[in-house]
């Protein structure tokens, strides 16, 4: 993860989106704002992690059926990896 990507994620998902949700949902306490901020930032972090995993060359352009087929072949022959 690059520095610019991290800063953008913190500003957007840790500050802007929670403030918008806080206003639109009519929340009133600082605890609700902080909880919303943490949840949004955590969800962004998990989504970014999963996106980074799927960008790996061996997983790119892979169908679910292809992944299941490879997994079944590995179960049958664990020495062929």
Which pLDDT score, from 0 to 100, does residue 81 have?
54
Give yes or no for a contact between 48 and 41, defined as CB atoms under 8 angstroms apart.
Answer: no
Which pLDDT score, from 0 to 100, does residue 38 have?
93
CA 12, CA 16: separation in Å to the nearest integer? 5
pTM: 0.61
CB-neighbour burial class of residue 81 (10 A; exposed 0-12, middle 13-18, buried 19+): exposed
Which pLDDT score, from 0 to 100, does residue 19 have?
94
pLDDT means per 10 residues, the chain with 81 residues, are 81 92 95 94 89 72 80 78 54
């Amino acid at each position: 993860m690059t520095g610019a990507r991290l800063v953008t994620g913190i500003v957007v998902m840790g500050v802007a989106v929670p403030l918008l949700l806080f206003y639109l949902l009519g929340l009133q306490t600082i605890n609700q704002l902080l909880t919303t901020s943490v949840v949004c930032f955590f969800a962004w972090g998990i989504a970014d992690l999963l996106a980074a995993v799927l960008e790996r060359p061996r997983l790119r352009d892979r169908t679910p059926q292809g992944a299941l087929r490879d997994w079944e072949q590995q179960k049958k022959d664990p020495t062929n990896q």
